[in-house]
Amino acid sequence: MSTPDYTENVLLRDLSPRARWYIVGVIVLGAVTLALMLARHPESLSPPLSLLFFVLLSSLTSAFKVQFPIASGSNMSVSYVVDIASLILRGPHATMIVGAASGWSQTNLNSRTRNPAYRTLFNMACLVLTVQAAGQVYQRLGGTSEPDLSDIGVLAPLTGMALTYFLVNTAPIAVAIALTTSQNAWHVWKTDFLPSLSSYVLGVAAAAVVIAVTERSGYWLTLLLAAAPLYLTYRVYRAGAQTEARQGAILDAASDAIVTMDHQFAIREFNPAAERMFGHRRMNILGKSIEMLLPPAGRAMAMKAFSDYMLKGEGPLTGAQFEMLAQRGDGTEFPVELTAARLGGDKGAITGFIRDITERRAIEERLRQSQKLEAIGRLAAGLAHDFNNILMSIMGSADLLLMETTPGDPAHDETKEIKQSVQRGASLTRQLLALSRRQATSPKLFALGDVLGNMETMLRRLMGPEIEFVSIRPTEPTLVVADQAHIEQVVLNLVVNARDAMPDGGRLTLKVEELELDEAEAMAEADGRPGRYARLSVSDTGTGIDEQTRARLFEPFFTTKEPGKGTGLGLSIVYGIVKQSGGHITVVSEPGKGATFNIYLPIAASVEPSPALA
């Protein structure tokens, strides 16, 4: 009989110590039993021809998993029927060779992947012990090599053999699965093996009927009658095997995690994408509760959704994609999108198709942030224009007053103070226009590295001796089109912020480089526009920025500095200038690990554009 595959491609050394000792113990017990019984009963190997027939037939039907559908809705393995027929006709000692050959072929022949040696030896040992125990029970209960089906007394040895075969075959495998996957052995046996009990009983009956028909009609007629259904079954199997192989390839290649849970919420399937997403090995999580993948805060709600969908086909999982939080093996939480499908023929099991939407959420958040800044910018632009008109009228009146007064006159000095205040107000309106990306620009073609070169002396003085200043520029010019004065303002603002983040000294690194962004990188770094970019990086080793602050970093008037030491417009203006230049800005930072601001500007052609108003 086929068994669930919980240890695919797992080496023996990767198993827990208890699992290793158990598997090795079963293998040794099987080998010793086979050697002792054959040594004590060498006559059981004769005649060799019929024994070879059973070995070949059992091996082939086991390797190709040839099965007959039965009334209970499950399948009956032909190799099992062959083993039972061999037990009846040849006895338990010779049938150990049949069982060992069947176990070897089942594990190695016609397998999609190469199985480790311990699995082969374990399967062979289990079948050796199984046929020996089942054969001994059959003989002890009065079974013979020529069962008389008309005699009611034949039921006891046949039933005893079926039940013994079932128990001895399934119990060791259930224990091995439980030990290798940290499950409960009773639960594994009850869930995966107990439902197949009827197949074992019917298989014994089928073997007895085949033997009776053979005795009455002869071997050739029996083989002729069996050939057609065997061939049809083989064809059905091959079609099913091809479908299974395609499904397996899809399961392995799927980029989304695919997780199946049974009616008790135990995980029964866990594809490679799920291993990568959740950080759990398939072998270690099979049989565990789905709760392992859910964070404590939302666990109760998610379990209720699973229960409602599994039992009633209702709830948030019905016909919709369900967004929720999941938990990795290291305890970190991340957002996922779940699409569930009920498997009604499997006691209400659920298969979930899970997609990590962390990146999508980040893109959506950036879009919301951009829309918010755009709205604030439009408001700022309107206010700036209105405020500027008022300032210009005040400026004009101040100029008239200055013309009517003479230096030294108290009114003259007061008027100059008014004019200077108006100029400061005009400077504020220019900052607001920069924020709204509506200030006048003079885009020109220039090498981005030259900006750092021209500003380096000033920036070194600005940093002071306690901060190490490093400037990295390419040997070849990295050409961009932008307003050079505005880019210098961007560099100055970022450098000042970096200096303030390193009150005890540190290192400031300015770097210019040229790089190519593909579609995936562009989605994360450059608003989804792939191509060649010049990247200006400003990195410091300061205090770093936490996640909450990063989310509001470019908002106007948001500042973490003390009152009176910052307007909160510096980074907003940087954001506006970069966007106005057709670029993008990102921040990489963690508390205590410094910060890196990356500015991406499209690489320009060698043709210089004419000045324009943005």
Q: Residues 252-269: what's their mean pLDDT?
A: 79
Task: Render pLDDT for 537-550 as a digit per residue (tens, 0 to 9).
Answer: 999 999 898 888 88
- Mean pLDDT: which of 159-168, 274-283, 339-348 is highest? 159-168
Which architecture characterizes domain 441-613 according to CATH?
Answer: 2-Layer Sandwich (3.30)
Work out the number of other CB atoms within 10 angstroms of the CB of residue 407. 8
Alpha-helical (H) ranges within 440-594 are 448-463, 484-500, 519-525, 547-551, 570-580
* CA distance linking residue 34 with residue 101, whole number of Å: 12
Amino acid at 17: P
- Homologous superfamily in CATH for domain 257-356: PAS domain (3.30.450.20)
Higher pLDDT, 301 or 423: 301
| Mean pLDDT, rounded, for 298-303 | 87
pLDDT tens-digit map of 352-375: 888 888 888 877 777 776 666 666
More confident residue, 289 or 564: 289
DSSP state of 502: -
- pLDDT given at position 71: 44
The CATH number of the structural domain formed by 12-252 is 1.10.1760
The predicted structure's pLDDT at residue 574: 84
User: For the chain, which residues make up each domain, given as ranges?
Assistant: 12-252, 257-356, 368-436, 441-613
Question: Which helix or strand (DSSP H or E) is residue 540 part of?
Answer: strand 531-540
Residue 73, pLDDT > 50, answer no
Residue type for position 192: D
Strand, coil or helix: 175: helix
- Amino acid at residue number 57: L
Tally Cβ neighbours within 10 Å of residue 358: 11
Tens of pLDDT, residues 424-448 = 677 666 656 655 555 556 788 999 9
Of the ranges 64-68, 265-269, 314-318, 466-470, which is most confident? 466-470
CB 59 within 8 A of CB 109: yes
Residue 108's pLDDT is 80
- Percent of the chain residues topping a pLDDT of 70: 78
Angle at the Cα of 508 from the Cα atoms of 507 and 511, rounded to 5 degrees = 130
Helix axes 155-181, 78-108, angle to 10 degrees: 30
Q: CA-CA distance, 50 to 303, in Å (whole number)? A: 57
Task: Report pLDDT digits (tens) over 523-570.
Answer: 767 666 888 899 999 999 998 988 888 877 877 666 766 655 555 567
DSSP state of 146: S
- Look over the chain and give the mean of its residue pLDDT values, rounded to a whole number: 79
Tokens of 383: 């206010």
CA 3, CA 193: separation in Å to the nearest integer? 8
The predicted model scores a pTM of 0.51
Q: What is the pLDDT of residue 553?
A: 80
Report, as an integer, the average pLDDT of 508-526. 83
**Nearest-10 crossing angle of helices 197-217, 78-108:** 110
Residue 582 to residues 59, 481, 490, 577, 585: CA-CA distances in angstroms? 69, 9, 14, 9, 10
Q: Which of 137, 133, 131 is nearest to 79 (CA)?
A: 131
pLDDT digit string (tens) for 172-202? Answer: 988 988 888 777 888 888 877 888 888 888 8
Separation of alpha carbons 614 and 597, rounded Å: 24
| Residue 588 scores a pLDDT above 60 | yes
Rounded distance between C-alpha atoms, residue 97 and residue 323, angstroms: 55
- At residue 147, what is the residue type? P
The CA distance from 83 to 130, in Å, is 10
